[in-house]
Amino acid sequence: MCKVPSEIVEKIGAAVFEGSIEEAGELAKQALASGLNPLDVIEKGCVPAIEKAGDWFARGDYFLPELVASAEAMKAAMAVLEPALREQKAERKVLGRVVLGTVQGDIHDIGKSIVGSMLSAAGFEVYDLGVDVPGETFVAKVKEVGADILGLSALLTTTMPRQREVIELLTEKGLRDKVKVIVGGAPVTEDWAHKCGADAYGEDAIRAVRVAKELVQ
C-alpha cells in the first residue's frame, strides 16, 4: 500500500478511536476516492480502533460515553464503506437466502452488519433483522423466506445462550433440519458453536462467507 492511502487508513483509525464522527465519515469517503478497498479500510483502520476503544473501556480508561462516541464514529465510516463493500459482487447468481441478526438483549450491530454486507457481496440474499432480535422473530423470518442459513450474532457472554435458545426454538417448530445455523461474535468460539447446536462458526466476516458457501453447496 502506498504512503498516502495508508495515512488515510491511520487517520480513520484515529478518528474512530477519538470518536470524531464527521471526520470518520469524511475520511472514509476520501479513502474510497483514492481507490482503497473498503474491506481493507474496515479491517486495517476501523476494527483495530474500535477494539482499542473496547480495551480502554475494559480497563477503565474510557467511560461509556467515549465508547459510544467511538462506535458512532465507526458507524459513520461504515455508512460510507458498507455500500461499497456490497457493490463488490463477486458472483451474480443468488447462492442462498440468509436470515441474520444480533440476538435478544444485545445491541452490538457493527460486526453483524459487516457479515451481512460481505454475504451480500458474495451473492447471498440477506435479510438483516437488526439487533435485539427475539427468537420468535428469527424463526418466523426463516419460515417466511425459506432461509437456507440463519446467522446469529452475539457480542456479550450474557447473550451467547440466546443463540442456543433460538436453535432450540427452530427444533421445537420443526424447522431445524430445513436451515443451517452459523453463530459468531467476539466471545463465540468453535467449541461453543458445537455446544449450542449450530452447524458452523464464523470467526470473522470472511470466514462467515466461506462457511456459508460450504453449507449451501
Binding stretches for ligand B1M (CB under 6 A): 47, 50-51, 53-54, 57-58, 64, 67-68, 71, 105-112, 114-115, 151-153, 155-157, 182-187, 202, 204-205, 208
216 CB-contact burial (10 Å; exposed 0-12 / middle 13-18 / buried 19+): middle
CB-side neighbour CA atoms (13 Å) of 30: 15
4 vs 118, beta carbon nearer ligand B1M? 118
Give min distance, CB of 82 to ligand B1M, in A.
Answer: 11
Give min distance, CB of 3 to ligand B1M, in A.
Answer: 26
Residue number of the CB closest to ligand B1M reads 111
207 CB-contact burial (10 Å; exposed 0-12 / middle 13-18 / buried 19+): middle
- Residue that is written with C-alpha cell 436451515 in the block: 179
4 vs 90, beta carbon nearer ligand B1M? 90
What is the C-alpha separation between 55 and 146, in angstroms, rounded?
40
12 vs 33, beta carbon nearer ligand B1M? 12
27 vs 113, beta carbon nearer ligand B1M? 113
User: Closest Cα partner for 139 from 162, 158, 118, 121?
Assistant: 162
